[in-house]
Amino acid sequence: MTTHAPAPVLAERYLLSPDMIADPYGHLDALREQAPVHWSPLHHAWLVTGYEQVMSCLRDPAVSADRVRPLMDAVPQGAREDAERAFGILSRWMVFNDPPQHRRLRRVFQEAFAARAVARYRTFTEKATRAVLARKAVPGSTGDLMAGVAKPLPALVFARWLGIPPTDGPSFWYWNTRVADLVLGTAQEESEYRASLQALVSLEDYLGALVARRRAEPGDDLISQVLREGRVGDSVSEEEFVGMLTQMAFAGGETTSNLIANTVLALLTRPDQLAAVRAEPELAQGAVEETLRLDGPSKMSIRTAARDVDLDSRTLRAGDRIFLVTAAANRDPARFPDPGRFDVRRSGATHLGFGFGAHFCIGAALARLVAVAVVRTLVCDHPGLTLADPGGLAWQPSLLNRGLTALPVHY
């Protein structure tokens, strides 16, 4: 076990304490100012909070994305017998692989995720948005925007994109929810781990059968498109392809749901920015980008030092855990002028809301398409939209994700 002498910085704060879940930014800003690369004994990890320092890590091949072993180590002993196959599936997720393996796996989906390919779903997304809002956002009513709009709309679009039949939707999204508990670290009890591990296995079995069905009966969906390109069975095995589909299924819904809700919250608490989007609906794109920067659905990503890394006059030893805190890097005043201001017209520096480089989020174009469509329609077609309980908002207790438990609004 590597030991470190902590630098004299702020008092340690547990990132999963209720006050830090509610608002981590003040502490993260102060930490970035005093020590942008800081060893935290409390978290047994390096906290990297400066923009340039995070970028350096994202570019450095010695900073590894492989964290399947730490996830497995967190499973209670009693649930380990269920874990072998489930963690075999996770090992095929490209997000947990480094180059050149990561590059080989990612290439299979590159064309399907390109912006021009994703644009084909714009009309479907806009129609689905209006249909859901007609049912859930009736003018004069009050409801939970998270449960009624932000969660079901990405689910509809992602299911259509993957080719999930509507009748299979309930089981498919149940499995995804349980997989999220495992990957995001919200599973705590042995029974929760068992449910999550079984859900991942069930999801792979389902998607494996769906791939076989699409081979026999191709459709207009992601699976059919990739199969037509001929890489499955050539550059990747079918087992690897199905394993990666479980990642696609897991990653799509949760992040986009949180992005929608966080953007709406940002606008409803900033009347000048809300008015700007209503006057110029194309600024909904700027609102989504500012949310990704200032209060996005991802707070950090976890890496491991594959070998010793020198960063900002500190030595990160091989095996050390590294938290790349993009939530802090995206507020770095060295990179973003007036970084605490939410500005739908901001331009210039690139935020890290979807990562950077080899691990830049492959689904970014689709997430942006859905989030912009929903936000634009919500704020422009519902002039009475206001927060129903501004003081009662609560955030999910997650180290990695930034998501509301609910967003009560008046439509």
Residues 384-401 have pLDDT tens digits of 999 999 889 999 999 999
Q: Averaged over 110-131, what is the pLDDT?
A: 91
| pLDDT tens profile 249-303 | 887 678 999 999 999 999 999 999 999 999 999 999 999 999 999 999 999 999 9
pTM over 0.85: yes
| pLDDT tens profile 330-345 | 999 999 999 999 999 9
Of 297, 369, 8, 364, give the one whose Cα is nearest residue 146. 297
Q: Indicate if the pLDDT at residue 9 is higher than 70.
A: no
Contact (CB, 8 A) for 330 and 351: yes
C-alpha distances in Å from residue 319, one per residue of 184, 313, 325, 405: 21, 18, 18, 34
Banded model confidence at residue 7, pLDDT cuts 50, 70, 90: low
Amino acid occupying residue 17: S
Q: How many CB atoms lie within 10 A of CB 380?
A: 15
CA distance 358 to 383: 41
Q: How many CB atoms lie within 10 A of CB 403?
A: 21
Tell me what pLDDT residue 66 has. Answer: 87
Query: What per-residue string of b and e applies to 37-70 under the rule 16 or more CB within 10 Å gives b?
Result: bbbbeebebbbbbbbebbbbbbebebbbbbbbee
CA distance 292 to 259: 7
Q: Cα torsion for 354, 358, 362, 365, to the nearest 10°?
A: 60
Tell me what pLDDT residue 4 has. Answer: 55
43-47, 66-70, 84-88, 133-137: the lowest-pLDDT one: 66-70
Q: Averaged over 92-102, what is the pLDDT?
A: 91
Of 369, 375, 383, 389, give the one whose Cα is nearest residue 114. 369
Q: Edge-to-edge strand order for the sheet containing 386-387?
A: 142-144, 408-410, 386-387
> Which residues, in sequence order, are CB contacts of 209 under 8 Å at separation 6+?
none
Q: Indicate if the pLDDT at residue 3 is higher than 60.
A: no
| pLDDT tens profile 158-207 | 999 999 999 999 999 899 888 888 887 777 788 888 899 899 999 999 99
Burial of 213: CB neighbours in 10 Å, binned 0-12, 13-18, 19+: middle
The vertex-156 CA angle with 155 and 160, nearest 5°, equals 110
Tell me what pLDDT residue 240 has. Answer: 95
Q: Indicate if the pLDDT at residue 79 is higher than 80.
A: no
| pLDDT tens profile 16-37 | 999 999 999 999 999 999 999 9
Of 94, 98, 95, 90, give the one whose Cα is nearest residue 69. 90
Tell me what pLDDT residue 225 has. Answer: 92
- CA 234 remoteness from chain centre: 30
Q: Averaged over 147-168, what is the pLDDT?
A: 93
Tell me what pLDDT residue 297 has. Answer: 96
More confident residue, 81 or 312: 312
Token couple for 120: 């084909």
Tell me what pLDDT residue 82 has. Answer: 65
Tell me what pLDDT residue 69 has. Answer: 72
Banded model confidence at residue 126, pLDDT cuts 50, 70, 90: very high
Q: Tell me the angle at which helices 222-229 and 190-216 cross, rounded to the nearest 10 degrees.
A: 60
Tell me what pLDDT residue 16 has. Answer: 94
Tell me what pLDDT residue 5 has. Answer: 53
Tell me what pLDDT residue 352 has. Answer: 97
SS3 48: strand
Q: Indicate if the pLDDT at residue 403 is higher than 90.
A: yes
Banded model confidence at residue 2, pLDDT cuts 50, 70, 90: low
Q: Averaged over 310-337, what is the pLDDT?
A: 97
Adjacent-strand bridge partners of 302: 323
What DSSP string describes 338-392? STTS--TT--SSPP-TT--GGGS-TTHHHHHHHHHHHHHHHHHH-TT-EES-GGG
> Which residues, in sequence order, are CB contacts of 73 under 8 Å at separation 6+?
none
Q: Average pLDDT of the chain? A: 92
What domains are there in the chain, each with its CATH number? 76-298+354-410 (1.10.630.10)
Tell me what pLDDT residue 8 has. Answer: 54
Q: Cα torsion for 41, 44, 48, 53, to the nearest 10°?
A: 110
Tell me what pLDDT residue 10 has. Answer: 76
Tell me what pLDDT residue 84 has. Answer: 82
C-alpha distances in Å from residue 52, one per residue of 64, 285, 335, 345: 18, 25, 8, 24
CA distance 222 to 120: 12
Token couple for 100: 């050149």
Q: How many CB atoms lie within 10 A of CB 16?
A: 12
Q: Indicate if the pLDDT at residue 6 is higher than 70.
A: no
Of 150, 119, 126, give the one whose Cα is nearest residue 136. 150
Q: Averaged over 66-86, what is the pLDDT?
A: 74
